[in-house]
Amino acid sequence: MSDRVDDLLDRAAARIPINEAPIDTILERADRQRRRTLAISACVGIAGAVAVATFASLGTGGATSPTVAADGLPTTKPLDPSSAAVDWQVGAPVHIPAPGEPCVDAATIPTSSLAADPVVSGALPRDGDMSSATAWACPLPSGTTVAITWADGTVIYYEPNSFHGNPNVWFEGMAQTWGGSVIVVDDHLGYVSTANSEPGVIHEALFVEGDTVIRVQAPADVDSATFEKIVRSFQFAGTSAKQS
């Protein structure tokens, strides 16, 4: 039978039409992704250097924008609002808002705007207390940029439209830069930050569902490994995340 399968597969495969290999496209995509990774790295530099003055500093011109030094290492320079677009994502550059532009600071989103049942609760795992963990899910109007200050001080800008492109590429870029994990829960792509894995800090995870960003926080007494395990046990329903 194996010889016969061998023969049949060869004959079937021979009937499959083959177009020319898109070598130039692959090389071009690799170059763009490399530039994007450097840009993200530069943003880490921003956060480390400025602690980033959170979102408010954008309004005072205190933020910086990334450039790439001749040696390939990211550096920073004062933000020029007229050229603030950063190629974070293939095909969908994320726009860093200039002073005065509408932007939402995630920390200021009122509880009333949270999706139903945003608090993660339920049976506590034996090896970690998640009783005070919280999650929020916020529908993001198209065109809005959201700034989230993570527990380790990094600021990441999310633009809902950009997730329609290829979120896994975006998350992978984050993971490569910050050392976090790209995970899949309930078919939802997510990212767990391990940059803030020092004891005593809050752990965070991020998921995207359409135009909605779901962010999960754990208290400081949960270690990174436990947190990731717990996040993997989430179940998604609508725009809220629940611990199963």
Partner 1 sequence: MDRDGFTEYVEACWPQLVRTAVLMGCEPAEAEDIVQETLLRCLKRWARVRQADDRQAYVHRVLINTFISARRRHWTQEQPTTVFPELPTNDDTAKVDIADAVLRSLSRLPEDQRVAVVLRYYAQLSERSMAAALGVAPGTIKSRLSRGLKVLAADTTLAELKGSP
The binding site for partner 1 (CB under 8 A) comprises 1-2, 4-6, 8-13, 15-19, 21-23, 25-27, 29-30, 33-34, 168, 184, 187-189
Nearer to partner 1, 77 or 164 (CB): 164
Task: Quote the least distance from Cβ 154 to partner 1, whole Å.
Answer: 23
- The C-alpha atoms of residue 133 and residue 115 are separated, in whole angstroms, by 16
Nearer to partner 1, 28 or 198 (CB): 28
Nearer to partner 1, 21 or 123 (CB): 21
The token pair that represents 232 in the structure block: 């993997």
Give ∠ CA 19-25-29 in degrees, rounded to 5: 145
Task: Quote the least distance from Cβ 57 to partner 1, whole Å.
Answer: 34
Nearer to partner 1, 2 or 142 (CB): 2
Task: Quote the least distance from Cβ 99 to partner 1, whole Å.
Answer: 36
CB 105 within 8 A of CB 56: yes
Task: Quote the least distance from Cβ 191 to partner 1, whole Å.
Answer: 15
Written as one letter, the residue type at 61 is: G
Nearer to partner 1, 5 or 123 (CB): 5
Task: Quote the least distance from Cβ 61 to partner 1, whole Å.
Answer: 36
